[in-house]
Structures are given as structure tokens and as C-alpha cells.
Amino acid sequence: MRKLNLPLAGLVYFAILLLWFGHVSIVFAQPQAPIQDSAWLPQSRLFHETDHLSLVSSNVITVYLPMVYGPPPPRKGVGAPVSPACVDQQTLQASWYLNWRINPDPTCGAENANKFVPRISGVFDEGTLAQAVTNAQASGWLIGFSEPNLPWQGNLSPTQGAVLWRQIENAAIPAGVKLVSPSPNQYDPGQSDPYGHQWTWAMVDAYKALYGPKPHFDALGWNIYKRTPTEIQTYLNARRNEALARGYNVPFWILEYGGECWNSSKNGNTSVMTSITPWFETTPWIDRYAWFANRITGAEPYAPGWQSCSLINPSTGAPTSLGQIYVGYY
């Protein structure tokens, strides 16, 4: 409970207003006898019975209000490429979701519009960009390209990304929409493409060469799958240092994370979740995170054999053992 001391002049107003919210107790102080031995005090400093209360007692009301807490900040999310995204988001006690599209999951009602963060990927036309920005206004955020460094995913050169990003900025910023940078995957440069996890910085360089200033990012997006929690922490700390060196003191959004999802015989996913998720929760420069993914059968072309990372059992709709752990974070 909080205790508030208010001047008597506000008594009537607050008594009427605050009785709606909690118990209001009012204490009236009584005027004290005038000060007798006052010769040594200036007359302007004296308290008179007719128009003042003594310093010992004062007119106050004591108001006791219940502590009312708002909803938690939208920190924990879920990657939900398949329906029903909002059912799973609520089952997992997540605050938001992404589905790698510009439109929300069709099974979600309008009341869930602010739980969805759209993502724009690849080459797009003017209508697609306009729709993405419109949908982003509910949550206030729009996410950039997914794994643009990989030829079989986003497949964009840094220069292509810079040109497209300029278009995104010109549409989103005037609309009051904040921007999350593209998120490359965790491969080292040269492992599967020339840039690997340095693709974002290569795009920054290309953007500066084309337009002068650096691109606008309100947050930096990253994807990370590793065998051990230590590897994930090392990777993200390195990216944080790179971001600061380039003048981006902005929060990170972890848009995909997991262990060895592709190796279903491994149990490293539990270790990654139970060690890394609390670290996300307590790391001040990590604002949001989303496990991949809500439902995985292992037959999906984008996640073959990845069923060990599924948070929801696709057959029953109930949380898997991994999903039950994820429910506990908030």
C-alpha cells in the first residue's frame, strides 16, 4: 500500500475521486493554543489560532490505495509460423508473436492486433510495404528481413538490403513505426555466404556509401542457434560490442533462438532454454526474445527434423515438456 499526504484544500476532490479505488481515511488536526512566549519570535513567523494550525499538527488526509500493476512488458514472445498463433501465444504466456509475414495469423481476432509484430522480407512492392506499415501500427514495430545472408532464405546482398531499407524508413518513420534491423543467422563469414553474421554491418556500410548517414534501427535483430548456453552468450556479447562500436546503443531482439533443433536426439534444447532465457530476462540490452517455434512436426520444409524444439504438441495443442518450461518465464 502507498500512503499519500495531501493538503486539506484537495480533500473534497480526492475523497470523491479516490473512494472509487480504495479506502480513504481522513484525519483532521485541531488548532493548538496560541504560542505564549513569543517575544523572541518575529511576528511574521507566529502561528495564530484564528488562521493557522500549529507545527505539531497539520491538516492532512491519509489515503491508502491498493497497488495496481499493469501488464508485464512485452519481453517474451514466440515464433509462430503456423496457426493458431494467438492460442499458442496465450497458452505459452507469451506477450507477442511473429510469423515472418506482414499480416497477422488469420485465426487471431482484432483484439490481438497489438500482440503481432509484422516482418517484411525480400524484395517487395509499394502495396506490400504500405500494408506492412499499417499492420505495424498496432504494436508500433516492424521487423526487417529474415536471414538475408543465406541464399536459401532472405538472399539479399548488403547493397540490395540498403536500398530496400531506405524505402522502409521513408514509409515507417513518418507513420511512427519503430524498426528492428534485419537478422542474419549465426554462421561465420564464408561458412555458407560471404557475410555470415556480419551481413548487418555490411548493409550499414553500403547504406552509408549510398546515402551518407547510417541506417535507422530502433532495435537490432539476431537469430542464434548453438549447442551450449555459453556459445550463445559469447555470440551475442560479441554482436553487442560491434553494435556499440558502430554507434548503435539500441536494444537487441532475439527473433529466433534454440539449441540443436535439427538434431532431435539431442537434449541440449532444455539446457539452452533454462540457462539462456533467464539471462535474456536479466540482460538490460536484450528487450525481446522469441523461441522457435510454436508447433513443429519435423516435416516442414523450413524446419526438417526440428520437432525437438516445438513448444506445442501439434497433435494435442498442449505444451510439450519444453513448452511447459517456457510457460514459466515472464
Query: End of a domain among 15, 35, 65?
Result: 65
Q: Which residues contact 120 (CB under 8 A, 6 or more apart)?
A: 102, 128, 129, 132, 142, 143, 144, 145, 168
Rounded to whole angstroms, how far apart are CA atoms 202 and 209?
11
Looking at residue 129, what DSSP letter applies?
A: H
70 domain-assigned: no
Q: Report pLDDT digits (tens) over 36-69.
A: 443 333 343 333 444 444 434 445 455 545 554 4
Rounded to whole angstroms, how far apart are CA atoms 252 and 257?
13
The CATH number for 316's domain is 3.20.20.80
Pair 144, 54 in one domain: no
71 domain-assigned: no
Q: What pLDDT, on the 0 to 100 scale, is given for residue 266?
A: 61
Pair 41, 86 in one domain: no
Pair 249, 225 in one domain: yes
112 domain-assigned: yes
Residue 266 is part of which domain span? 76-327
Query: End of a domain among 24, 43, 65?
Result: 65
Residue 118's closest CA among 96, 128, 103? Answer: 103
Residue 141's closest CA among 85, 87, 83, 95? Answer: 95
Rounded to whole angstroms, how far apart are CA atoms 135 and 308?
32
> E strands of 71-172, at which residues?
76-79, 96-98, 141-143
311 domain-assigned: yes
Distances (CA, A) of 113 to 169, 214, 290: 22, 31, 18
**pTM summary value:** 0.79
**Three-state SS at 61:** strand
pLDDT, average across residues 130-144? 99
pLDDT band per the 50, 70, 90 thresholds, residue 74: confident
Q: Which residues contact 90 (CB under 8 A, 6 or more apart)?
A: none
Pair 240, 287 in one domain: yes
Pair 9, 157 in one domain: no
9 domain-assigned: yes
Pair 61, 81 in one domain: no
Average confidence score pLDDT of the chain: 85
Total number of domains constituting the chain = 2
- Phi-psi region for residue 230, left (φ > 0), alpha (ψ -120 to 50) or beta? alpha
Distances (CA, A) of 83 to 172, 235, 257: 27, 31, 20
- For helices 158-172 and 126-136, the axis angle rounded to 10 degrees is 60
27 domain-assigned: yes
Q: Given a cut of 60, is residue 217 above it in pLDDT?
A: yes
Whether the Cβ atoms of residue 199 and residue 220 lie closer than 8 Å to each other? no
Pair 57, 80 in one domain: no
Query: End of a domain among 17, 37, 65?
Result: 65
- For helices 199-211 and 158-172, the axis angle rounded to 10 degrees is 70
251 domain-assigned: yes
258 domain-assigned: yes
Q: What pLDDT, on the 0 to 100 scale, is given for residue 47?
A: 38
Q: What pLDDT, on the 0 to 100 scale, is given for residue 260?
A: 87
Pair 205, 290 in one domain: yes
pLDDT band per the 50, 70, 90 thresholds, residue 12: very low
Pair 197, 176 in one domain: yes
Share of the chain above pLDDT 70, in %: 77
